[in-house]
Amino acid sequence: MATRNFFEPSNDGFNDSFPWLASTMLAFEACEVIRLRLTMFAAADQDADREAQLMVSEKVDAMFEAGASLMAGASAADIIGRYREHVAANAKRLSAI
């Protein structure tokens, strides 16, 4: 069986190699982190400036991590799984504040 690019559709027109459920869960989980951060920013919390800086640096770090993983041969599911770990850690940290 030949490997397919995950952007290439299958015969039935549906791409079954992309982790649709995991990516949908990532989107929903990220929305919760966005809500927690926006609440902090709107309340002018004393840690809001630090959180904004942390948010940007985390995104840059995650981009480089994903790029390196892709170059090392990681699958889309691996990348999305790792992003979900980052999002879960942020949700836990922000919920504790």
Read off the pLDDT of residues 49-82 as tens digits, 9 standing for 90 and up: 999 999 999 999 999 999 999 999 999 999 999 9
Q: What is the mean pLDDT of the chain?
A: 87
The pTM for the full model equals 0.76
DSSP string, 21-81: HHHHHHHHHHHHHHHHHHHHHHTT-TTHHHHHHHHHHHHHHHHHHHHHHHHTT--HHHHHH
| Residues 22/77, Cβ–Cβ less than 8 Å | yes
Residue 45: pLDDT over 80: yes
**Domain segments of the chain as ranges:** 20-96
Q: Are the CB atoms for 36 and 95 separated by under 8 Å?
A: yes
